[in-house]
Copies of this chain bind each other. A is one copy, B any other.
């Protein structure tokens, strides 16, 4: 049950392979056997280290959006900064992989959906600040736009969205986010 340097290394190898497979195939189609093969070890080791496929998944999905604090920003720039930050997360190798895992899985797995719900509800709503009126609604609208782009660009790979470079996309999305954060709602 103890952990040596050697075991920690293969644990990490397994986790990296799991993230890649989960991100690429989704929870159901990613098999323990394939993950183990990618990691170059035996499937039984995966179970030994993580207890079960679900345990492995839980370990593979651990995400912190690290949203910036809007208090320190010019009020009319918050939308732009948020849009850029979200896209940056998805563009980044490691956190992008985790987010892909989460999105792919949340769509067919209630547990992952619940995790996604709390992540966006708490982290985004908190970032907007507790003082804001209609905070949860605004956070959800922001989430709908940012998850929508993520879905279309990184999962469905809609060509026109894939073709845009990040800064152009930021410029197109920023006003939307800005409006959801600040403008009066219906």
Contact = CB atoms under 8 A, between A and B. Distances in A.
A68 interface: no
Given A108-B26, A145-B144, A179-B175, A159 B113 contact: no
A131 B103 CA distance: 35
Contacts of A136: 159-160
B117 A140 contact: no
A165 to B, nearest CB: 10
Interface in A88-141: 103-104, 106-108, 113, 116-117, 120-121, 136-137, 139-141
Tally of this chain's copies = 2
16 contacts: A25-B108, A29-B108, A104-B108, A106-B155, A107-B151, A107-B156, A136-B159, A143-B148, A143-B152, A143-B158, A145-B145, A145-B148, A168-B185, A168-B186, A172-B185, A176-B176
Interface of A: 25-26, 28-29, 103-104, 106-108, 113, 116-117, 120-121, 136-137, 139-141, 143-149, 151-153, 155-161, 163-164, 168, 171-172, 175-176, 179-180, 185-186
